[in-house]
């Protein structure tokens, strides 16, 4: 049947449109210097034009679902890890994912890749650019633009220490007596790092760690440099550019130094460059902050207030990470109560074409808890944190303006986070975990599955002891032989979870109601259930996804089930409306109505 959603390629900005948008954004960032910076940007774009292949295509479809992984998460001791990953995708996950997010694969000095030494090189311990390009040929490749900070082992930092160009003016010097108490902190480490230079001791801004020195985007040289780096990644095959820690990009003393107007202007400028040179390339912002702040990176509120033109299109991020979902799902499935999840999902606005969510439950980082602010009362958040500690996890802290520390994220594998309920561990871990993944897959947006979700990985406490870093608990490196044995042996959680997720992902990719633009409506149910409708599409097709979020059988008290006949996608058979209406613990239904199919 014809697809009900648009398959038109992303519209390309012509030269005049691009110049107008770029000039407007540069005015917001640099004021009187805008024309000078624009001329430099135009030269860069003209130089890169021939290196960017034309790949006009629709932004997305229901087939879009990404694997999130490190380049060396899978090792065999013989081949470059990127080649081992490629072989695993071909043999174990063929036709399962539309693409892969390879976390920073550049030479790095700390934070498992997010302290970049060389932006245009591949870490030789992983492979080379040919290996990256091979992954890109198989599907969409997401690449990190680690834009806020750089390793102190980088050549730019060496330049800074020596007082030579270009790095001399790439960093933010600050008098340590400056009042920076208003600055929002994602860590509890010192904000200013003392550095010995030829000019004596200087104090540099370092939001995340003493090895990750923030870059000075008030210097246009830095912006031009990073636009060139972004376009280099696109030329190597990247289709999705992830803006790491983008919220902290611009600094202005006397403010919180997060989500500043100049930061949003930089994101919109990067979007304009991509829409002009590489239409169809997606921009995604990574901002682990409360939900409303996260939503600002679509630019919808600004668009609504600044433009009376109802046809104006969003021009900031195509996608934002749905940071609220991971902790809210843990709360739901460990409490057996979907009330908060339903209320939050019901509050999500309808998104215009060109905007969608990146849904995930786990990533290389921990399970952020800031996104729960205003959604759960403090005692519920505290109860969840205490439970995660009982299940073997840790809690990382951030520094607050009052000088105290507060929880920032839980460090635990998602599989172990769902080891039990508030009553303790129980035999339902696999079913509970799969429920979390299956529920995420039905929500509006594009899903991302972290490799360790596919493999039901347990907490890596030994790794934490070796590294001294709490996040290592969820960053285990698999020996391929060991993983193959677990996948090929019967009755292992790894095999059960892997096969179940692979089957559900393949099924999802064939269902048009899961197109990111298909409407979403939260269905009223008792708190023991969660239900969402996707669609109806233009042809009337709609999908009803229902989940039991408890460890007890629950009656299917869902009024929509009486609205005509349904087809059970999971059973590949008509749904028997006359059978007892109940759902086993942590089980789900994906039911479709196909008008005219009868």
Taking CA atoms, 60 is separated from 5, 280, 299, 315, 355, in Å, by 10, 9, 20, 17, 10
How many percent of the chain have pLDDT more than 70?
A: 96
Strand partners, 545: 532, 590
> Does pLDDT of 24 surpass 90?
yes
Is 7 annotated to bind a ligand? Reply is: no
> Does pLDDT of 168 surpass 60?
yes
Strand partners, 591: 544, 568
The per-residue pLDDT for 351 is 92
At 530 the three-state DSSP class reads: strand
Task: Considering only residues 61 and 8, tell me which one the structure prediction assigns the higher pLDDT.
Answer: 61
> Does pLDDT of 2 surpass 90?
no
Give residue 304's pLDDT band: very low, low, confident or very high (50, 70, 90).
Answer: low
The per-residue pLDDT for 306 is 63
Q: What does the alpha-carbon distance between residue 219 and residue 169 come to, in Å, rounded to a whole number?
A: 7
Q: What does the alpha-carbon distance between residue 42 and residue 146 come to, in Å, rounded to a whole number?
A: 23
The per-residue pLDDT for 446 is 98
Cα dihedral 122, 125, 126, 131 sign? positive
**542-577 exposure pattern, b = at least 16 Cβ within 10 A, e = fewer:** bbbbbbbbbbeebebebebbeeeebbebeeeeebee
Strand partners, 214: 149
SS3 letters for 326-364? HHHHHHHHHHCCCHHHHHHHHHCCCCCCCCEEEECCCCC
Query: Residue 379 has which token pair?
Result: 């005692």
Beta carbons of 126 and 107 less than 8 angstroms apart? no
Is 111 annotated to bind a ligand? Reply is: yes
For tokens 């498992």, the residue is 112
* The one catalytic residue among 211, 244, 416, 460: 244
Rounded average pLDDT over 125-141: 96
Q: Comparing 292-306, 409-423, 474-488, which segment has the lowest mean pLDDT?
A: 292-306
Query: β-strands 582-583, 554-555: how paired?
Result: antiparallel
Query: Residue 141 has which token pair?
Result: 């490749």
Rounded average pLDDT over 254-269: 97
The per-residue pLDDT for 50 is 87
The tens digit of pLDDT for each residue in 311-328 reads 678 899 999 999 999 999
Is 471 annotated to bind a ligand? Reply is: yes
Q: What does the alpha-carbon distance between residue 308 and residue 420 come to, in Å, rounded to a whole number?
A: 51
The per-residue pLDDT for 3 is 44
Give residue 7's pLDDT band: very low, low, confident or very high (50, 70, 90).
Answer: low
Rounded average pLDDT over 435-449: 98
> Does pLDDT of 598 surpass 80?
no
Beta carbons of 220 and 254 less than 8 angstroms apart? no
Residue 140 bears catalytic tag: no
Residue among 195, 153, 152, 154 nearest 173 (CA): 195
The per-residue pLDDT for 4 is 47
Query: Residue 9 has which token pair?
Result: 């390629």
- Kindly tell me the burial class for residue 424, based on how many C-beta atoms sit within 10 Å of its own C-beta (0-12, 13-18, 19 or more): exposed
Query: β-strands 567-568, 573-574: how paired?
Result: antiparallel
In angstroms, the first-to-last Cα distance of the chain is: 16
Give residue 237's pLDDT band: very low, low, confident or very high (50, 70, 90).
Answer: very high
pTM for this prediction: 0.96
Beta carbons of 456 and 504 less than 8 angstroms apart? no
The per-residue pLDDT for 1 is 33
Average pLDDT, the chain: 94
Rounded average pLDDT over 509-518: 98
Q: What does the alpha-carbon distance between residue 543 and residue 426 come to, in Å, rounded to a whole number?
A: 32
Beta carbons of 323 and 377 less than 8 angstroms apart? no
At 139 the three-state DSSP class reads: coil
> Does pLDDT of 59 surpass 90?
yes
Q: What does the alpha-carbon distance between residue 523 and residue 530 come to, in Å, rounded to a whole number?
A: 8
Element spanning 498, H or E:
helix 493-509
The per-residue pLDDT for 309 is 58
Task: Concatenate the DSSP letters of all residues of 146-215 into one string.
Answer: --SEEETTSHHHHHHHHT-TTGGGSB-B--TTS--TTS--SSSS-SEEEEEETTEEEEEE-SSBTTEEEB
Q: What does the alpha-carbon distance between residue 431 and residue 586 come to, in Å, rounded to a whole number?
A: 6
The per-residue pLDDT for 55 is 76
Rounded average pLDDT over 386-414: 92
Establish whether the linkage from the previous residue to 536 is cis, with ω within 30° of 0: yes
Instruction: Name the CA dihedral angle for 425, 431, 437, 440, rounded to a multiple of 10 degrees.
Output: -90
Beta carbons of 314 and 298 less than 8 angstroms apart? yes
Determine the length of the chain.
598
**How would you classify residue 127: left for phi > 0, otherwise alpha for psi between -120 and 50, otherwise beta?**
left
Residue among 318, 353, 359 nearest 517 (CA): 353
> Does pLDDT of 534 surpass 70?
yes
Q: Calculate the CA 136 to chain-centre distance.
A: 18
Residue among 588, 58, 27 nearest 282 (CA): 58
Domains of the chain by range and CATH? 520-593 (2.60.40.1180)
Rounded average pLDDT over 252-260: 97
Beta carbons of 21 and 272 less than 8 angstroms apart? yes
Half-sphere exposure of 466 (CA within 13 A, CB side): 9
Give residue 307's pLDDT band: very low, low, confident or very high (50, 70, 90).
Answer: low
Give residue 555's pLDDT band: very low, low, confident or very high (50, 70, 90).
Answer: very high
The per-residue pLDDT for 291 is 87
Establish whether the linkage from the previous residue to 9 is cis, with ω within 30° of 0: no
Q: What does the alpha-carbon distance between residue 338 and residue 531 come to, in Å, rounded to a whole number?
A: 10
- Kindly tell me the burial class for residue 67, based on how many C-beta atoms sit within 10 Å of its own C-beta (0-12, 13-18, 19 or more): buried
Residue among 110, 120, 179, 182 nearest 149 (CA): 110
Residue among 301, 321, 184 nearest 248 (CA): 184
Is 598 annotated to bind a ligand? Reply is: no
Residue among 16, 61, 5, 68 nearest 42 (CA): 16
The per-residue pLDDT for 573 is 96
Is 149 annotated to bind a ligand? Reply is: yes
The tens digit of pLDDT for each residue in 33-42 reads 999 999 999 9
Instruction: Name the CA dihedral angle for 219, 225, 227, 233, rounded to a multiple of 10 degrees.
Output: -150
Q: What does the alpha-carbon distance between residue 415 and residue 482 come to, in Å, rounded to a whole number?
A: 18
Q: What does the alpha-carbon distance between residue 270 and residue 299 come to, in Å, rounded to a whole number?
A: 14
Element spanning 436, H or E:
helix 429-442
């Amino acid at each position: 049947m014809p697809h009900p959603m648009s398959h038109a390629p992303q519209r390309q900005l012509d030269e005049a449109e691009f110049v107008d948008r770029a000039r407007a954004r540069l005015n917001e960032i640099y004021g009187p210097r805008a024309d000078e910076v624009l001329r430099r940007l135009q030269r860069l774009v003209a130089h890169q034009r021939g290196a960017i292949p034309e790949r006009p295509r629709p932004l997305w479809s229901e087939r879009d679902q990404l694997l999130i992984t490190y380049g060396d998460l899978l090792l065999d001791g013989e081949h470059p890890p990127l080649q081992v990953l490629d072989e695993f995708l071909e043999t174990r996950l063929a036709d399962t994912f539309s693409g892969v997010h390879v976390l920073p694969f550049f030479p790095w000095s700390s934070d498992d890749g997010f302290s970049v030494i060389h932006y245009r090189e591949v870490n030789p311990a992983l492979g080379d650019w040919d290996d990256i390009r091979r992954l890109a040929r198989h599907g969409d490749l997401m690449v990190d633009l680690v834009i806020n900070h750089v390793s102190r082992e980088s050549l730019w930092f060496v330049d800074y220490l020596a007082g030579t160009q270009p790095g001399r003016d790439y960093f933010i010097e600050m008098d340590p007596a400056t009042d920076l108490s208003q600055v929002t902190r994602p860590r509890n480490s010192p904000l200013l790092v003392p550095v010995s230079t030829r000019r004596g001791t200087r104090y540099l801004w370092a939001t995340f760690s003493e090895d990750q020195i923030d870059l000075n985007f008030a210097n246009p040289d830095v912006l031009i440099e990073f636009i060139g780096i972004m376009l280099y990644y696109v030329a190597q095959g990247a289709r999705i550019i992830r803006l790491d820690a983008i919220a902290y990009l611009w600094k202005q003393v006397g403010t919180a130094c997060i989500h500043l107007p100049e930061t949003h202007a930089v994101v919109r400028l990067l979007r304009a460059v991509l829409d002009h040179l590489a239409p169809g390339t997606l921009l995604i912002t990574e901002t682990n902050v409360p939900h409303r702040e996260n939503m600002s990176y679509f630019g919808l509120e600004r668009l609504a207030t600044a433009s009376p033109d109802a046809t104006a299109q969003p021009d900031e991020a195509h996608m934002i990470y749905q940071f609220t979902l991971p902790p809210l799902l843990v709360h739901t499935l460990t409490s057996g109560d979907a009330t908060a999840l339903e209320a939050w999902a019901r509050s999500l606005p309808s998104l215009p074409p060109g905007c969608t969510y990146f849904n995930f439950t786990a990533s290389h980082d921990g399970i952020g808890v800031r996104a729960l602010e205003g959604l759960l009362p403090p005692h519920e958040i505290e109860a969840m944190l205490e439970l995660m500690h009982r299940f073997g996890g840790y809690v990382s802290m951030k520094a607050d303006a009052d000088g105290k520390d507060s929880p920032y994220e839980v460090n635990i594998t998602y599989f172990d986070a769902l080891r039990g309920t508030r009553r303790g561990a129980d035999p339902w871990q696999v079913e509970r975990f799969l429920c979390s993944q299956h529920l995420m897959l039905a929500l509006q947006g594009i899903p991302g599955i972290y490799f360790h979700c596919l493999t039901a990985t347990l907490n890596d406490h030994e790794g934490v002891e070796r590294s001294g870093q709490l996040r290592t608990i969820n960053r285990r490196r698999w020996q391929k032989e060991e993983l193959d044995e677990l996948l090929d042996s019967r009755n292992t959680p790894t095999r059960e979870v892997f096969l179940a997720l692979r089957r559900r992902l393949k099924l999802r990719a064939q269902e048009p109601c899961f197109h990111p633009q298909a409407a979403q409506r939260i269905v009223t149910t008792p708190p023991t259930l969660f239900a969402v409708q996707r669609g109806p599409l233009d042809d009337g097709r709609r999908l009803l996804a229902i989940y039991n979020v408890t460890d007890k059988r629950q009656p299917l008290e869902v009024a929509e089930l009486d609205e005509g006949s349904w087809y059970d996608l999971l059973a590949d058979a008509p749904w028997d409306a006359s059978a007892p209406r109940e759902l086993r613990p942590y089980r789900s239904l994906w039911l479709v109505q196909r008008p005219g199919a009868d």
